């Protein structure tokens, strides 16, 4: 049985909940109060994750920390289609891993500015926002170029990968970090596509779009 140690307002926790929903996997939630009690730094939680970070996933006897590592594990174990983490396609897999690392940069910039604004963390918010815009420019140029070649996702595959899910949350929450997406039209189009993936679920600050993709249309729209 899967258990997720979770905080509702965490973008990193949300990306795991999102993937569990897409995969239609049952799981239970153990809520860890990140703010204001900082329960993730309590002795009891540190015995689960010595780093004092969320999320943590327990699957029977296995305990995993780090959102990106959890996405990789879930894709390898539970995605029979092998599309979310395509180990059979080395070139695409390498790009998936590249964007998983990029997602860590979003955590260190957009998420850090959000933590400053919402939870009063002592970060240099302006420096975080400046770094966020650097990353968003890179992402927007990449997505625009991909669209010119008929590609819809971060990686050149016919369907989304966990790279899209890893990068999605904090960009979708950028308003809460004081980071505008006005100058990044390709990023905004990509956000809408992610919201149309079957099984998409929301969190506070992330809202649904008008309709979901029919599964059969995912590959078709990727090559139009």
Pairwise CA distance, residues 11 & 16, whole Å: 9
Residue 166 pLDDT grade (very low, low, confident, very high; cuts 50, 70, 90):
very high
Do 2-78 and 90-202+214-222 come out as alike in CATH topology?
Answer: no
Coil, strand or helix: which one is 70? helix
Neighbouring CB atoms inside 10 A of 60's CB total 8
Q: What is the pTM of this model?
A: 0.90
The owner of tokens 């969190």 is 203
Contacts with 196 (C-beta within 8 Å, 6 or more apart), sequence order: 209, 211, 212, 213
Q: Check: CB of residue 28 under 8 Å from CB of residue 3.
A: yes
Collapse the DSSP code of 180 into the 3-class scheme (helix H, G, I; strand E, B; otherwise coil) and give the result. coil
* pLDDT at position 37: 72
- Is the CB of residue 53 less than 8 Å from the CB of residue 107? no
Q: Which residues have CB under 8 Å from 23's CB, separation 6+?
A: 74, 78, 79, 199
**Residue 194, helix vs strand vs coil:** helix
Residue that has been written with the tokens 């790279």 in this structure: 163
Give tens-digit pLDDT for 105-153: 999 999 999 989 888 888 899 999 999 999 999 999 999 999 999 999 9
The residue extents of the domains of the chain are: 2-78, 90-202+214-222
- State the pLDDT confidence band at 219, using cuts at 50, 70 and 90: very low
204 CB-side CA count, 13 A: 7
Phi (first) and psi of residue 206, to 5 degrees: -120, 120
**CATH number attached to the domain at 90-202+214-222:** 1.20.1050.10
Architecture of domain 2-78: 3-Layer(aba) Sandwich (3.40)
Structure tokens at 9: 């307002």
Beta strand pairing call for 27-31 and 2-6? parallel
The neighbour count for residue 62, using CB atoms within 10 Å, is 10
Structure tokens at 89: 């396609």
How is residue 107 annotated by DSSP? I
Phi-psi label, residue 24: left if phi above 0, alpha if psi -120 to 50, beta otherwise: left
- Asked whether 160 and 218 are in contact (CB, 8 A), the reply is yes
- Of 83-87, 193-197, 219-223, the least confident: 219-223
Structural tokens at position 213: 């993709």
Share of the chain above pLDDT 90, in %: 84
Q: Read off the pLDDT of residues 14-40 as tens digits, 9 standing for 90 and up.
A: 999 999 999 999 999 999 987 777 789
């Amino acid at each position: 049985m899967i258990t997720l140690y979770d905080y509702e307002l965490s973008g990193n926790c949300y990306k795991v909940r999102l993937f569990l929903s897409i995969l239609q996997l049952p799981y239970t939630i153990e809520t860890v109060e990140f703010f204001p009690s900082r329960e993730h730094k309590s002795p009891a939680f540190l015995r689960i994750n010595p780093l004092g970070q969320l999320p943590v996933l327990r699957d029977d006897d296995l305990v995993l920390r780090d959102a990106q590592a959890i996405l990789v594990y879930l894709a390898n174990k539970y995605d029979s289609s092998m599309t979310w983490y395509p180990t059979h396609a080395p070139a695409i897999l390498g790009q998936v891993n590249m964007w998983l690392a990029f997602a860590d940069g979003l955590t260190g910039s957009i998420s850090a500015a959000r933590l400053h604004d919402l939870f009063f963390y002592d970060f240099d918010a302006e420096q975080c926002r400046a770094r966020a815009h650097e990353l968003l420019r890179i992402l927007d140029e990449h997505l625009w170029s991909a669209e010119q070649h008929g590609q819809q996702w971060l990686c050149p595959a016919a369907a989304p990968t966990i790279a899209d899910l890893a990068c999605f949350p904090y960009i979708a929450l950028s308003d809460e970090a004081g980071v505008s997406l006005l100058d990044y039209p390709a990023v905004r189009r990509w956000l809408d596509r992610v919201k149309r993936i079957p099984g998409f679920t929301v969190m506070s600050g992330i809202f649904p779009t008008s309709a979901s993709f029919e599964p059969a249309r995912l590959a078709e729209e990727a090559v139009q």
